[in-house]
Structure 1
Amino acid sequence: MRTTAASARAAAAAAAAAVKHHQQPGSASTVMALLSLSLLLLRLLLRLRLAAFRDAALSLNLLARVRLRPVLLRLPGPGPATVLRVWCPSSPSSKPPLLLLHGFGGDAKWTWARNLPRLARRFHVYAPDLLFFGAHSRSASPLRSVAFQARCAADAMRLLGVPRYDVAGISYGGFVAYRMAAVEARDRVGRVVVMTSGVAATPAEIRDMADREERAVEDALLPKTAEGLRFLVRRSMHRPPPWMPDFVLDDFIQLMCVNQRNERTELLQELLKNGAGMDPLPVLTQEALIIWGDKDRIFPVDLGHRLHRHLGEKSRLEIVKDAGHALQLEGAAQVNRLIESFLLDERNGPGCIVAQK
């Protein structure tokens, strides 16, 4: 299984290298990368490596249909080397730039699988794998703070030549998005979307929520067994998949939860200790959209109302019915519409409403 997961990552890396220097989708190198991924898909399917198959299929879909390409960026700075992988548009456009920041549940392409195809039609989308997620985003730096993640994401957008952009983050990515808007990229971020993120909770409250869980937070969010991953899925979703066999879950763990596990555990410990690292939490100067699932069992919806009160009249709270913490998957159509309408000025004004299914 490790060999298969490594093959999937190697194929994705080959595709990234091929398109990095050949931006035209029709180039020979890009065609070879797509062919390589297609052959890998067939091999994984025949071996019933369904999670690895899904991973390669997501890469193929982003390259061939959504027209996003993975770019490896070496970030500037005198300190230890830091590399961030970002899914970027394959060609220039006049669409407004949008930065998407994922949470602990997976990397960019898994988290935004049901959002990228729709959002890329209306926005010039950038979706990084945050540091220590996936096989490519890594750093020799000992820093694990939300501030460091925010600084790295802001540096990546500067390297990509994007002077101003909107940002949307879910869960842990919501902490990073808020921090970027408040500090690291305050003059570059236009509007902010925070989804089901406990940024309004104090670090002590976050620790209390973690202590009330049935298992240690690192075991819950970075499971080592099929049973542990099954627990996380059922905890995160109001309507979890009915079919979750062990061999599929084990395959996913090898893909997503083994690589850089120690570093991500340290990210969690830092989050529990200091939250977003801003005390008191500043009120954003940007307009903000807050989206929450009404059945969220990780960060209760009360935290969404608290954040809405904290941000005041420049914010809007939208509650998606019958959706849990992974609302970007369970309520994908509603989330996509809400982001589009907010960022494209199709709103009715500040307030709080419930989005119907």
Structure 2
Amino acid sequence: MSNEGYLPLESGFATLAIHAHQSPDQWNSGAVITPIVTASTYKLQSADYSTGFQYGRWGNPTRNNLEGCLAALDKGKHALVFATGCAATWSALTILKSGDHILCAADIYGGTHHLVDMVAQEKGVDLEFFDVNNLSSFEKMFKPTTKMVWIESPTNPLCKVVDVRKVAAISHKQPGVLVVMDNTFLTSYFSKPLALGIDIVMYSMTKYMNGHSDVIMGALVLNDDDVHARLRDIQQHGGAVPGPFDCYLALRGLKTLALRMKQHMKNGIEVAQYLKKHSLVEEVLHPGFPDHPGHEVLKKQCSGYCGMLAFKIKGAGMQEVSKFLKALKMIVYAGSLGGCDSLAESPALLSHKYLSKEERLEIGITDNLIRLSVGIEEAEDITKDIDQALKAAFV
């Protein structure tokens, strides 16, 4: 849906998040906020012409506005939204056919790992995992049949920083390879993967982009017209589209994305610094630290960092980790991330439970690892809660 004559697309991020593809002039009412259009079908003016909408699965005014806004925020040409982040991931993977080869980063969200495994087994796709910190080895893994590379940066949950430009440049030496990047952690506020050479940007909109832990949704953003046409066909005929109310909530969430990400970043580094000095903490994983191996790369390809970090409880096993999580009072022991509320979880018990213990240890996911999504509460209240829970873990 066009915004011509209303908003220059070179406008600042916060301006785009509030106004892009959301002009009041679209609606007869002049509504400032995009209305929730619940219609499942639309009146056709003639046999070969409609108002631009035909059937709810094919398009919806509220959903179209969300897709237009997402494309603008990533400086992309196209965006597609899906009922879940996993549906977006699955749709992108559906491009692959039997015999195709995919290279997937080893350290990724456990649900993505599971989906990639499923696609490989069910469709006969040749799957290999690679170490994001060993790109010389990665370059040697390409085959004539390689069609896709899948990465996320920073990685979930170990916060490794991928040199996105290098991965894209290496991958595009072979024609026809699509590079997909999960940008859920950083969002389009801190990172513009398309400008770094990525072909398809994937989001779990459930997380920071919506930001209020009240929507489940996914998105893909890209520039290529042909790939977009294939994905649009998958979206429309696969039918995994979000409802108009969820699209409205996501649009509402985007309006405060810039403000929220600034606070997440501020709180995240304060909590990480506190943990680094704590006597019961063995290690803190946060790319904002100058001594983090990916810190310099992060500074070159991103404008900031979110509220995600991981830390290891000193001398802890599953028993102490479980006691720590149960002892939290304000911070919630729960899956997901990126909401206003601080959330904590054990990757070994929750987000990466699909992997065997051997697979987890090979990646670096130990039993004493905690993933923390730092919310936008007062940082001092977050650290106080962590401190009392750490002490309770060893009682």
For normalisation by structure 2, the TM-score amounts to 0.26
Whose radius of gyration is greater, 1 or 2? 2
Higher share in helix: 1
